[in-house]
Amino acid sequence: MNPELTTLINQIGEDRVLRVLKRHTRRKPDNARIKLDELRKTGIYPDCPELAEILPWLEDMQMVDRFGKPLRLQGLEAIRSKSRKQDIVNVRAVLANYLYCECRMKSVDIGIQLGLRDHSTISHNLGMFRDTIGTDKRLKFINNSLNEWLDSKNNLSDSQ
């Protein structure tokens, strides 16, 4: 037997050591964490019809940095990147809010679609969106842009 383990058993008792060992060997990672880890390894995103529906709006949207220069990444590639540029973060927050409120997607699934992010990151995004939509003009502009695009798309489909 390992001398360190023997010393530990002598100090705190065998049954206590066994309880701790059992507790730590029983723990299993949750399904969401396993799913995210597998997707990160493959780099392949599952199909998402809700996101595919608004992809034309996203592709047309011109994201710029604070100096007005177009960003190197555009469209879905930019949203799924690890970029922390304010425009990309704002679009990500608007998309998370749309997918959560309008499409009733779970935060785990939204996180997977928006760049393999954790559900807690999406919850933070949603909270940030709710807190700042009233004061942040750029966030409000992006949100209104998406809503207008969706309204025009629905009006076109209604008239046909």
pLDDT digits (tens, 9 = 90+) for 49-82: 888 888 888 888 776 666 777 766 678 888 888 8
Average pLDDT over residues 23-34: 59
Kindly give the interhelix angle for 86-97 and 137-159, rounded to the nearest 10 degrees: 50
Average pLDDT over residues 90-118: 92
CATH architecture designation of domain 45-159:
Orthogonal Bundle (1.10)
pLDDT, position 78 = 85
Choose among 111, 64, 56, 60: nearest CA to 87.
64
pLDDT, position 50 = 87
pLDDT, position 25 = 54
pLDDT, position 24 = 56
Distance separating alpha carbons of residues 64 and 17, to the nearest angstrom: 57
| Vertex 25 angle, CA 23 and 29, to 5° | 100
